[in-house]
């Protein structure tokens, strides 16, 4: 039973964090290079610009869901299963989502990287 | 990619991993009994645990670096960098604290390193299929470094 809970947490964490990553990446691309903005307008302008981007709040919400699911998952299941399994799955989900929603060019190089990193993260937990 | 930008990516890797480790340590100390769906206040009180609190502070530092990186690089470029932290922790555990690392962990470390290398060798920003990244956003043209 606790296995089922752990895997439910893993699924929820990886899906929510992928949604969060995509929304946050979208928001930050709209904000533009924060280094440049900081130089021209100062730190406050950067903070104001980031927090007034509507998709940023949505991204934070998705990340909060992922964070609290992880906390629950960690108390239900084994740390060595829940954390790496959800991180590993999130790499693969993100590669797909970045291509579909962010129109990033996920070529062979980036697919290989996503799969290698996902496999590596999973292996490190064994 | 400037040196400063690589430093931000290093911050993403280090802060995320150390923050996560501290959180895990704190949550393990609290145990499964104190934190459950039926005891939501226990979950909120978890924030008062010093390990959890320090972990959250470091994760905030991670988040700032992560947002900065996402403002000038692709998601699929920045993400693999976060996994380099796992490698760092394993290397510190082995060479610093003489912990024994199993061959499967070494293999995992190798795979992550190769994966990160794959991405790092390529462009950090790819042009979108529509020429313009986002409606209303600044139009992005291919930067010279993205042409490889």
For residues B117 and B80, the answer to whether their CB atoms sit within 8 Å is no
Q: Considering the entire predicted model, what is its pTM?
A: 0.79
Q: Interface pTM (ipTM) of the complex?
A: 0.86
* Residues of chain B contacting residue A115, judged by C-beta atoms under 8 Å apart: 115
pLDDT tens-digit profile of A18-57?
999 999 999 999 999 998 999 999 889 999 999 999 999 9
Distance (Å, rounded) from C-alpha A93 to C-alpha A18? 6
Phi, psi of B72 (to 5 degrees): -125, 5
CB contact under 8 A, B79 and A28: no
Q: Tell whether A41 lies on the interface with B, counting CB pairs under 8 A.
A: no
Helix (H, G, I), strand (E, B) or coil at A117: helix
Helix spans in A32-107 (H): 34-41, 43-51, 54-76, 79-101
Domain that holds residue A10: 2-125
Q: Tell whether A8 lies on the interface with B, counting CB pairs under 8 A.
A: no
Interval A94-112 mean pLDDT: 92
Count the neighbouring beta carbons within 10 Å of the beta carbon of residue B132.
Answer: 14
* Residues of chain B contacting residue A119, judged by C-beta atoms under 8 Å apart: 108, 111
pLDDT tens-digit profile of B118-146?
888 888 888 654 444 444 444 444 444 44
Interval A64-93 mean pLDDT: 83
Domain range list for chain B: 3-127
Domains held by chain A: number: 1
Give chain B as a 3 state SS string: CCHHHHHHHHHHHHHHHHHHHHHHHHHHHHHHHHCCCCCHHHHHHHHHCHHHHHHHHHHHHHHHHHHHHHHHCCHHHHHHHHHHHHHHHHHHHHHHCCCCCCHHHHHHHHHHHHHHHHHHCCCCCCCCCCCCCCCCCCCCCCCHHHHC
Q: What is the pLDDT of residue B18?
A: 87
pLDDT tens-digit profile of B68-116?
999 999 999 998 887 888 788 788 878 877 888 899 989 999 999 999 9
């Amino acid at each position: 039973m606790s296995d089922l809970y752990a895997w439910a947490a893993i699924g929820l964490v990886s899906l929510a964090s992928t949604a969060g990553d995509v929304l946050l990446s979208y928001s930050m691309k709209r904000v533009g290079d924060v280094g440049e903005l900081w130089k021209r307008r100062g730190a406050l302008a950067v903070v104001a610009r980031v927090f007034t981007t509507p998709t940023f709040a949505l991204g934070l919400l998705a990340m909060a869901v992922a964070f609290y699911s992880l906390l629950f998952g960690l108390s239900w299941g084994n740390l060595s299963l829940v954390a790496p399994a959800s991180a590993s799955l999130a790499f693969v989900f993100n590669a797909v989502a970045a291509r579909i929603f962010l129109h990033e060019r996920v070529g062979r190089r980036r697919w290989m990287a996503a799969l290698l990193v996902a496999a590596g993260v999973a292996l490190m937990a064994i | 990619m400037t040196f400063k930008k690589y430093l931000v990516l290093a911050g993403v890797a280090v802060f995320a991993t150390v923050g996560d480790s501290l959180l895990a340590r704190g949550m393990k100390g609290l145990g499964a009994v104190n934190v459950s769906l039926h005891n939501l206040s226990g979950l909120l009180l978890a924030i008062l645990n010093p390990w959890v609190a320090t972990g959250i502070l470091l994760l905030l530092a991670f988040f700032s670096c992560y947002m900065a990186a996402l403002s000038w690089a692709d998601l699929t470029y920045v993400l693999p960098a976060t996994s380099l932290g796992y490698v760092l922790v394993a290397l510190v555990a082995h060479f610093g604290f003489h912990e024994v690392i199993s061959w499967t962990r070494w293999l995992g470390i190798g795979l992550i390193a190769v994966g990160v290398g794959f991405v790092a060798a390529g462009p950090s920003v790819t042009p979108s299929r529509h020429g313009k990244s986002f409606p209303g956003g600044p139009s992005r043209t291919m930067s010279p470094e993205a042409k490889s």
